[in-house]
Structure 1
Amino acid sequence: MNPVYHQAKFINSSPDLKDTPEDQGREVAFAGRSNAGKSSAINTLTRQHGLARISKTPGRTQMLNFFEINATERFVDLPGYGYAKVPIAVKKKWHELMEKYLTQRKSLCGIVLVMDVRHPLTEFDWQMIEWCQHTGLPLHILLTKADKLNYGAAKNTLMQVQKELGDINFPLTIQLFSSLKKTGIDEVHKAIDLFFMPVDEFESEPEVE
């Protein structure tokens, strides 16, 4: 477990790129469906229960939320997609904000894509995977809420998702994860460690669980 992530602190929430922290250093962004457990994953990885806001109503993350790890590294919690019962105009605004961030943010160095292990590879998940493939941006997939299935079923889902992603040719890793049981934390930390490495040092990939 990498203790450096435990010192993460909230910086700000930004409704537009002009309000974000200065675009320098390196950022790892967390993306995923609104009810996939994205905020819970961030809190678990940082050992801070209330760092990323968790709501009983999916879709409350409506802005770009920035968390400082140290002077040069940050986490970014992206707006959740695909589930929230909000007006179409609001969803359009979320989409535009995410598109601007993903295409314009120079410090973005990797994506952690969070999926509920019971409902993986939604249409929106595929869009994010294809975008990362197109840009060559490293991607690490968390199949969250693994505690909701028995071990055999969770492992079978992992293998099925790996099979469906078998033809993807860019830096991609995938694992099971549970915020409730605190399982899979070390694997995520290793993946993020690699994301934060300078490009010329990014030579190997974390092992697939």
Structure 2
Amino acid sequence: MHVQDAEIIISAVDPKQYPSTGLPEFALAGRSNVGKSSFINKVINRKALARTSSKPGKTQTLNYYLINKAFYFVDVPGYGYAKVSKTERAKWGQMLETYFTQRETLCHVLLMVDFRHPPTADDIQMKDFIEYYGLPYTVVATKCDKIPRGKWNQHASVIKKAMNLPSMESLIVFSSETGEGKDKAWGLISRYLNE
């Protein structure tokens, strides 16, 4: 897909602030620092539309990016970051639960995990949460450029097994450095937009 138009629309904290355009939304969920912003920037070919940060726990709102005036990427707060207070974490949890359970235009969740490591308890809990609410999702394994290609199958199998994924089709191996997995991600998004 050729992206001609991409802009951040709003950083929302509650449903009153969500856009009312009715366009489909693809939520990006994952641990802090897993590479959600880098994913957005890579797939839309922009250097810095989504702000990346070396400080985990930076995204504290639902950040809506309107792409080609056709759909949104919604970057949700990262989980599993210890330096955030319990109160703050509870607030994010509430915000995420409200979004995931009530947002009718949410059509797919891209659940991001770090390809270099086995999925964490938080990753698995997030997957269980998404499945519990019957939301379609795909696991995106980021930072694959950090692993020699010869070990990719081994790493992919560990993720697939830990997260009990039905098939390798439910996993996209991705790199924001090399663009690996970008076409597969667009293929997935296009399928949902054309339904």
| Fold in common (TM above 0.5) | yes
Q: Which residue pairs with 1:173 in the alignment?
A: 170
TM score, norm. by length of structure 1: 0.85
CA 12–167 in structure 1, closer or farther in 2 if over 3 Å, else same: closer
Q: Alignment identity in percent?
A: 39
Q: Which residue pairs with 1:8 in the alignment?
A: 6
Amino acid corresponding to residue 2 of structure 2 in structure 1: P
Cα distance in 1 between the residues matched to 2:57 and 2:102: 23
Matches of residues 121-160 of structure 1 in structure 2 within 5 Å? 121-160=119-158
Tell me which of 161, 164, 188 is aligned to 1:163. 161
Cα distance in 2 between the residues matched to 1:190 and 1:74: 16
Cα distance in 2 between the residues matched to 1:68 and 1:167: 30
Cα distance in 1 between the residues matched to 2:165 and 2:21: 33
Q: Is 1:185 paired with 2:173?
A: no
Q: Is the 8 A contact 2:118 2:158 kept in 1?
A: no
Tell me which of 168, 192, 195 is aligned to 1:195. 192
Q: Is 1:80 paired with 2:61?
A: no
Stretches of structure 2 that go unaligned for 5 or more consecutive residues are none
Q: Which residue pairs with 2:100 in the alignment?
A: 102
Deviation at 1:159, TM superposition (A): 2.0
Amino acid corresponding to residue 13 of structure 1 in structure 2: S
**Per-residue deviation, residues 120-170 of structure 1 (Å, max 9, x unmatched):** 42222212222232233221111110111111222211022223444659x
Q: Which residue pairs with 1:42 in the alignment?
A: 40
Q: Which residue pairs with 1:207 in the alignment?
A: none
Amino acid corresponding to residue 27 of structure 2 in structure 1: A
Deviates more, 1:20-29 or 1:105-114: 20-29
TM score, norm. by length of structure 2: 0.91
Cα distance in 2 between the residues matched to 1:7 and 1:155: 36
For residue 106 of structure 1, give the secondary structure of its aligned residue in structure 2: coil
Q: Is 1:22 paired with 2:13?
A: no
Cα distance in 2 between the residues matched to 1:48 and 1:78: 19
Stretches of structure 1 that go unaligned for 5 or more consecutive residues are 199-209
Amino acid corresponding to residue 48 of structure 1 in structure 2: R
CA 165–55 in structure 1, closer or farther in 2 if over 3 Å, else same: closer
Amino acid corresponding to residue 47 of structure 2 in structure 1: H
Number of aligned residue pairs: give it.
Answer: 194
Amino acid corresponding to residue 195 of structure 1 in structure 2: Y
Q: Is the 8 A contact 1:140 1:174 kept in 2?
A: yes
**Per-residue deviation, residues 87-113 of structure 1 (Å, max 9, x unmatched):** 111111111111110011110000011
Deviation at 1:196, TM superposition (A): 2.5
Amino acid corresponding to residue 186 of structure 2 in structure 1: H
Cα distance in 1 between the residues matched to 2:188 and 2:5: 18
Q: Is the 8 A contact 1:158 1:175 kept in 2?
A: no
Cα distance in 1 between the residues matched to 2:89 and 2:103: 21
Q: Which residue pairs with 1:202 in the alignment?
A: none
